[in-house]
Every structure is written in C-alpha cells, then in structure tokens.
Structure 1
Amino acid sequence: MPLKELAERRNILHRKSDAQTVLRHALNDVEVGQIALVSSFGAESVVLLHMIAQIDTATPVIFLDTEMLFPETLTYQREVAKALGLTDVRVMSPDRNAVLTEDVDGLLHQADTDACCDLRKTRPLAQALADFDGWITGRKQFQGGKRTDLPLFEKDGRKIKINPLVKWSAQDLRDYMTEHDLPRHPLVAQGYPSVGCMPCTTRVSDHEDQRAGRWRGTEKTECGIHFDKNGATRKGQAA
C-alpha cells in the first residue's frame, strides 16, 4: 500500500483513539512495519517514554547525542531509561570524521545553525533509522509554528511518522506526569520549557511561547529532522 494512503487510513482508523492505543497498534502493525521512538529526553519526553515502557520495554529508542547537549540532559537520559527499564536505547552521535572536517572547533552553530543541525542531528538520525520503516515522535499541535496542522500519521519520505500526542495540551502532559509520578527534566524548573542543544537554547519568560528559547533571535524554529530550512517536510530517509 502506498505510504500516503496508509497514513490516511490510519488517521481515519485512530481518529478517536487515545495515545496509548495508537502506540500499541502502531508497534504491532504489520503494514507500518518496524518502528522506533525517537526521543530527545527533553522537557516532555518522559510521557511517551513511559507509555512505551508500559507496552514493551524492548522497543527501540533513539537518542541523538549531538555532543552539545546540556549535561543535565545526558544525566536525565540515563536516569529515565533506567527508571523505566528501557532495554534498547540507542545513543547516536555525529560521525567523528565529519565533525573533524566540518566543525573541528565546535563553532559551526555560530555561522550556520542549519548546517550544524544537519551534521549533528539529521545525518545521525538517518543512520539510526536506516533499518526501520517508521518512527514515533513527541510533537504536538499546541507547540505552534509548522506543527499546528500535524496529523497523527504522516508519510515521511520512505517511512511512516507517528505523532501519538499530537492533540495533547501542555496541561495534559503535566497531568500525566503527575499521575504517574514521572521524573521531570531538571532544566524545566530553571526556565527551560523546551530543551535543545546548550548553545542554541535560552530561558523563556512566562509570557513567551515555550519554544521561544530555541534559536532565539533567528527565524529558525526547527532543527531539520522534521522540516528542512524552507519549512517543507524533509524527503530523505530520516525526515
């Protein structure tokens, strides 16, 4: 079945399904194939990670260590994975030779944020997803920008992308974390409601959008694993 048609059929099938049902069916859907959860282990990531752990702790989880993350994120990743009993967390880093060629001084982000994200996120993710038919993300419509019209299932190049929390609100996420007593990312309490790489993430004021601290002062709103720099869904293997 063509992937666009498959996505459309699954959107109809699950139009009234809750996130747990979507996840459980997707992980066992022979037409969707083998899928992995891609997680930043950021401010809200623990919700999907907990849901996955309730279904199958051996579900592949891909974590992109850009080598520019906050130390708190790296610690949180290890602690959450252990607490939830996740047994197949795959930590992906940028290719060493590519870093030495393209960003040997670690300052590429100052000259070209898109190139830095491509080097440290998009390409490593493409490698990590090479053997998978689809992937799960934690994107939500309330995050705004290019995410406002996100569907539950979408064609993503030659893969299927699944967004189980697409209709969830910020309050839904907080309620779920409270109900299940899940550990919070330590930077959230310090004013970082959205956590990315350390050089490109700043604190956010109460009146600002939660992603206002990402690439502050630029027009950039996405790292590139979901959308290219022109705003279109990427057409490659990873996005």
Structure 2
Amino acid sequence: MVLDALGLALDPDQGLASEARLLSARHEGEEAEVILAAALDLYDGKIALVSSFGADSAVLLAMVADIDRSLPVIFLDTGKLFPATTAYRDTLVEALGLTGVITHGPNAADLAATDPAGALWMSDTDACCEIRKVTPLAVALSPYAAWISGRKRYQAETRAKLPLFEAANGRIKVNPLLGWDRARIESYRETRRLPPHPLVAEGYPSIGCLPCTDRVKPGEDERAGRWRGKAKTECGIHLGRPSGAIIPGI
C-alpha cells in the first residue's frame, strides 16, 4: 500500500480506503492518460488492466499501449461470449501490439460441479456470473495490488458516483475514464482509427455474454440489454466479495 510508506499503523481495509481517497483527490480533474500513467508508475509491476474487449475497450487499451504494450491485460473468457468478441480481442491485440494479454476462464472442476450442462444462466444468473466471471477474476488478480477498469459514470445509475480510485477486495481499482461520455469515446476512437466492436453497429452498445445480452432500443440506458427483464445490473466483479470469502477452485 502507498500509505505504508508514511509509516501509518492502520487497519488494512481502512488504510486502503484512505489510500483510494487520497489518490482520487490528488488526481481529480486530470486527463485519463495522466491518471493512467500515474497509476502504472505508482503500482509498477503490481497492476493489471482488466478488459472485456467490449464496445468501449479499444480506448483504454490504446492508452495502455502508448505507455506499456507489455502491461498485463486480463481477459475473462467465460465460455459464453459472442464469437465476435474473441475475434475483436485478436484484432485489437494485433492492431495495438499488445503483448501482455492473459486469458482466464472458469475452473473446469467448478463447472463440472455447478454447471455441467452449461445452462446455469437460465435458472440463476448470479451463480453463473460467479462461477464464470467473479471467481476467475479473483484468481487472475491475486498477484496484483491494483487493477484498471474501464467503467464510466454515464453508463448506468449504479455507476454515477464512481471515484477515480476505489478500495475493493484488498486492492486499488482505478477508473481513468469515469468522466467520459459516448461522444468523447467515439471521437477518441475515430481520431485514433481504432476498429469498433462489430456488434455495436448491430445495436449492442454494452456487450457481455451471449445468452444474457440483448439489443438496446433508442433512448434506453446503454446497459438496458444486459440481463433483460431482470433486476440484475452488474455481473458481480464490481460489487466486491465479503472479507475472507473463500474462492472456489483455489
């Protein structure tokens, strides 16, 4: 933790929360590229970008490539993704020269025990997300002290008050694009000539797993197509685990 350098004897959770607040205040109003560069410098060797290679992912990936093409980029292959998403991942990796992309998937033993037919999403979307996204990400992030997220405040009501830096599950989470809107994202993508995700043109502004992602109608929230007809709005990776939670498959 950064605050360790100050010699403060704090409870680890409280110390991490204080660290996040301090960093948010320090970098408030800075450009995304500056925030990103500062985070990579601060947590050098102990930070990774988590990318879905979804509709907006090219922007943050391009910024990372400008700084360090070998930065670890964690990609969760749930086994339920659109084929277009894995193809888009390969396109961006080649276009940006990324060399640190690491693909993580669900534990085979966990799938055999919990979702042997691959149809858990039909009866329990939370359990499906837990085994295919939340748990694999927890495993993938275990070597790191911080990670970078591409969430933005405008995307949904649940994200409207995001801070630049968060304390979550024993590490720092960085949100350098939180103040960006759709117009700015598209302007950046077009200026950099970054290829779009092919499903965006088909009406998918937010792209998750194939069974749980629907097209979005004009005027709807961008994430309205995720888990259509359910109260669920997040897969769970940004909701946090209870302290001391056991991670299956480890």
* TM value normalised by structure 2: 0.90
Q: Which residue of the partner structure matches residue 138 of structure 1? A: 150
Please state how far the C-alpha of 1:237 moved relative to its aligned partner.
8.5
SS at match of 2:95: helix
Q: Which amino acid aligns with 1:8?
A: R
Q: Aligned equivalents of 2:79 and 2:32: distance in 1?
A: 31
2:225 to 191, 213, 233: 213
Q: Aligned equivalents of 2:95 and 2:106: distance in 1?
A: 27
Check if 1:118 corresponds to 2:130. yes
Q: Percent identity?
A: 50
Check if 1:94 corresponds to 2:91. no
Q: Which residue of the partner structure matches residue 25 of structure 2? A: 12
Please state how far the C-alpha of 1:146 moved relative to its aligned partner.
1.4
Number of residue-to-residue matches in the alignment: 232
C-alpha contact 2:156 2:222 (8 A) present in aligned 1: no
Check if 1:57 corresponds to 2:64. no
Q: Aligned equivalents of 1:8 and 1:156: distance in 2?
A: 12
Q: Aligned equivalents of 1:38 and 1:79: distance in 2?
A: 17
1:25 to 38, 55, 58: 38
Q: Aligned equivalents of 2:33 and 2:241: distance in 1?
A: 27
Please state how far the C-alpha of 1:157 moved relative to its aligned partner.
2.2
Q: Aligned equivalents of 1:168 and 1:224: distance in 2?
A: 23
Higher gyration radius (CA):
2
SS at match of 1:178: helix
Q: Which residue of the partner structure matches residue 169 of structure 1? A: 181
Q: Which amino acid aligns with 2:48?
A: A
Distance 1:3 1:125, change over 3 A: same
Q: Which amino acid aligns with 2:81?
A: L
Q: Which residue of the partner structure matches residue 12 of structure 2? A: none
1:50-89 residue pairs with structure 2 within 5 A?
A: 50-89=62-101
1:150-169 residue pairs with structure 2 within 5 A?
A: 150-169=162-181
Q: Which residue of the partner structure matches residue 48 of structure 2? A: 36
Distance 1:236 1:41, change over 3 A: farther
C-alpha contact 1:39 1:61 (8 A) present in aligned 2: yes
Q: Aligned equivalents of 2:152 and 2:223: distance in 1?
A: 12
Please state how far the C-alpha of 1:234 moved relative to its aligned partner.
3.5
Please state how far the C-alpha of 1:42 moved relative to its aligned partner.
0.2
C-alpha contact 2:206 2:222 (8 A) present in aligned 1: yes
Q: Aligned equivalents of 1:94 and 1:82: distance in 2?
A: 25
Check if 1:191 corresponds to 2:198. no
Q: Aligned equivalents of 2:46 and 2:221: distance in 1?
A: 35
C-alpha contact 1:129 1:237 (8 A) present in aligned 2: no
Please state how far the C-alpha of 1:33 moved relative to its aligned partner.
6.7
Check if 1:148 corresponds to 2:160. yes
Unaligned runs of at least 5 residues, structure 1: 228-232
Q: Which amino acid aligns with 1:185?
A: H
CA RMSD of aligned residues (A): 1.4
C-alpha contact 1:140 1:167 (8 A) present in aligned 2: yes
